[in-house]
Amino acid sequence: MSDQRVVITDESSGKSLELPVIKGTEGEPTLQIKALPSTLGYFTYDPGFTATASCTSKITFIDGGKGILRYRGYPIEQLSEKSNFLEVAFLLLTGELPTSAETEDFEEDITYHTMIHEKLNTFISGFHYDAHPMAMMAGVVGSLAAFYHDKLDMENPAHRLLAAKRMIAKMPTIAAACYRHHMGWPTAYPKNSLNYTERFLDMMFSVPAEKYEVSPVAAKAFDLLFILHADHEQNASTSTVRLVGSTGANPYASVAAGISALWGPAHGGANEAVLNMLDEIGDISRVGLFVDKAKDKNDPFRLMGFGHRVYKNYDPRASIIRAAAYEVLEELGASDPLMDLAMELERIALEDEYFVTKKLYPNVDFYSGIIYKALGIPRSMFTVMFAIARTVGWVSQWLEQEETPTPIGRPRQVYDGQPARDYVSVESR
Ligand code: ACO
């Protein structure tokens, strides 16, 4: 809280109210409006929360105008160049980079929890083979509440941290199990001699009939993608996790809700939608046509992978991932006509007045699908990759909320339905 106050006056009643201004360490000043209903009798209306902060947080800072993203103060550019996913996970969870002893302990802890209860595999096998993996993920992660309810006294910080670590550890195992169920492959158990991303790739792609060696290029690329997707402050899925968590619900149930929110094409589902869109465009000669469709108010088509609620300048993750996409394609010796198409789409859209004036730039998901495709990840699994990484953000934000006294999240509404009326019996309707 600062000393600054903003006074608002209701001209109809002549009453005034001094609203305190909350100033974080960085970012826009924010009005504390809690006293508004009780003092002036007004609520505020902000659909989509475009102007509303739902919490205070010390985890991630974004300046959308300047294209800045920092985890616990560290710029994403530095973390993606110098750190690794598990170190970033420790940072997001605890607030500080680990010492070497802490790194060792944390890696051991996460590795210890990589296996899933055998009965979970039975649960997974109950899904139809062509179930969307995000539907399976939401169901299976929600069901963890039924498997790991021991050691979950929500009032106990050590129990909460254990639940958080369990989710970070088990998410790749569950994701790979969902994929293998779809493929009809036998269960692959986590090999704890491998690191986090290598282990995940091994569980995804190894088959008993052949020797499988994890590609270092793929493991490195996944580590980078996981760092970039690890947290993004109060986005739709994280806000969902916080909202569900604010009811006192089990963390596994809260994260399952986050997975459901992430699945939408306006959020994490965009990476899958980008490739579907590139397929639909089909050829460089048709890029202009689709840019025109995106600009047409009467056409629901949007350029997937473009625009962001917060970034009104280049998404810093997109710059990193764009360079990585080229590197991965080059290192794998793969060329992808979809990459050429994506580049042409980016070029035309970035020059187009509609996109320029609305500040619509490619976001992180414009390129991530291209890398996942090059690494052999099937399209329906793209958003699952995002979910594995974002689990770290979800559980960090959930832990932070649990440590701060937080009221249940309960927005208000502007009711514009029917006024009071009397029931009419069916004969008289
Ligand atoms: N293509 C064409 N026009 C667009 C696009 C787009 N991708 N995105 C926004 N616009 C236009 C809107 O039509 C609107 O125009 P108007 O002012 O004339 O009505 C204006 O830009 C503002 O758009 P909003 O939808 O109001 O912006 P909002 O902040 O609510 O939405 C969102 C952000 C959902 C990301 C949007 O840009 C979008 O749908 N993008 C495509 C989906 C996508 O890539 N999602 C991934 C987001 S990143 C992530 O979750 C990891």
- State mean pLDDT over 210-236: 95
Residue 8 β-bridge partners: 17
Q: CB neighbours (10 Å) of residue 98?
A: 18
Average pLDDT value for the chain: 94
Q: Residue 226 burial (CB < 10 Å; 0-12/13-18/19+)?
A: buried
For residues 25 and 76, give the distance between their C-alpha atoms in angstroms, rounded to a whole number.
18
Our mutation pick for probing the ligand 1 site, out of 296, 309, 312, 320, counting the most ligand atoms within 8 A of Cβ, is: 309
Note if 159 is an active site residue.
Answer: no
Report the nearest-CA residue for atom 39 of ligand 1.
266
pLDDT interval class at 370 (50, 70, 90): confident
| Catalytic residue, candidates 202, 231, 352, 365 | 365
Residue 275 Cβ inside 6 Å of ligand 1? The answer reads no
Q: For residue 374, is pLDDT > 90? A: no
Residue 296 Cβ inside 6 Å of ligand 1? The answer reads no
For residue 18, give the 3-state DSSP assignment: strand
**Ligand 1 atom at shortest distance from the alpha carbon of 229:** 51
Q: What is the predicted pLDDT for the residue at 150? A: 72
| Catalytic residue, candidates 229, 231, 308, 352 | 308
The residue among 369 and 389 whose pLDDT is bigger is 389
Q: CB neighbours (10 Å) of residue 110?
A: 19
Q: Residue 289 burial (CB < 10 Å; 0-12/13-18/19+)?
A: exposed
Cα(186) to centroid of ligand 1, in Å?
41
Cα(178) to centroid of ligand 1, in Å?
31
Q: What is the predicted pLDDT for the residue at 3? A: 86
Residue 358 Cβ inside 6 Å of ligand 1? The answer reads yes
Residue 114 Cβ inside 6 Å of ligand 1? The answer reads no
Q: What is the predicted pLDDT for the residue at 38? A: 94
How many Å is the Cα radius of gyration of the chain?
A: 23
Q: Write the DSSP string, 98-138.
A: --HHHHHHHHHHHHHT----HHHHHHHHTS-TT--HHHHHH
Q: What is the predicted pLDDT for the residue at 106? A: 98
pLDDT digits (tens, 9 = 90+) for 281-334: 999 999 999 999 999 999 999 999 999 988 888 889 999 998 888 888 888 887
- State mean pLDDT over 14-37: 95
270 contacts 304 by C-beta, under 8 angstroms: yes
For residue 302, give the 3-state DSSP assignment: coil
Q: What is the predicted pLDDT for the residue at 326? A: 83
What tokens were used for 372?
Answer: 């996942």
Tell me, yes or no, if the pTM score tops 0.75. yes
pLDDT interval class at 149 (50, 70, 90): confident
Percent of the chain scoring above 90 in pLDDT: 83
Percent of the chain scoring above 70 in pLDDT: 100
Q: For residue 339, is pLDDT > 90? A: no
pLDDT digits (tens, 9 = 90+) for 191-221: 999 999 999 999 999 999 999 999 999 999 9
For residues 200 and 189, give the distance between their C-alpha atoms in angstroms, rounded to a whole number.
10
338 contacts 275 by C-beta, under 8 angstroms: yes
Our mutation pick for probing the ligand 1 site, out of 238, 302, 320, counting the most ligand atoms within 8 A of Cβ, is: 302
Q: What is the predicted pLDDT for the residue at 10? A: 95
For residue 7, give the 3-state DSSP assignment: strand
Where do we find the tokens 């300046």? 63
Q: What is the predicted pLDDT for the residue at 185? A: 95
Where do we find the tokens 């639909």? 280
**36 to 19, 21, 32, 52, 406: CA distances (angstroms):** 8, 14, 9, 14, 19
29 contacts 23 by C-beta, under 8 angstroms: yes
Nearest Cα neighbor of 368 from 353, 354, 386, 394 is 386
| Catalytic residue, candidates 229, 267, 315, 352 | 267
Q: What is the predicted pLDDT for the residue at 342? A: 87
Q: For residue 125, is pLDDT > 90? A: yes
The residue among 196 and 406 whose pLDDT is bigger is 196
Our mutation pick for probing the ligand 1 site, out of 314, 360, 382, counting the most ligand atoms within 8 A of Cβ, is: 360
Note if 267 is an active site residue.
Answer: yes
Where do we find the tokens 């110098």? 82
- State mean pLDDT over 336-364: 88
Amino acid at residue number 13 = S
Q: For residue 188, is pLDDT > 80? A: yes
pLDDT interval class at 95 (50, 70, 90): very high
- State mean pLDDT over 219-226: 95
Q: What is the predicted pLDDT for the residue at 8? A: 95
Note if 308 is an active site residue.
Answer: yes
What tokens were used for 351?
Answer: 């020059």
Nearest Cα neighbor of 271 from 317, 335, 239 is 317
Q: For residue 117, is pLDDT > 90? A: yes
Residue 269 Cβ inside 6 Å of ligand 1? The answer reads no
Strands of 60-63's sheet in order across: 60-63, 68-71, 74-75
Q: Exposure string (b/e) for 50-70, b if CB count within 10 Å is 16 or more?
A: eeebeeebebbbbbbeebbbb
Residue 373 Cβ inside 6 Å of ligand 1? The answer reads no
- State mean pLDDT over 124-137: 96
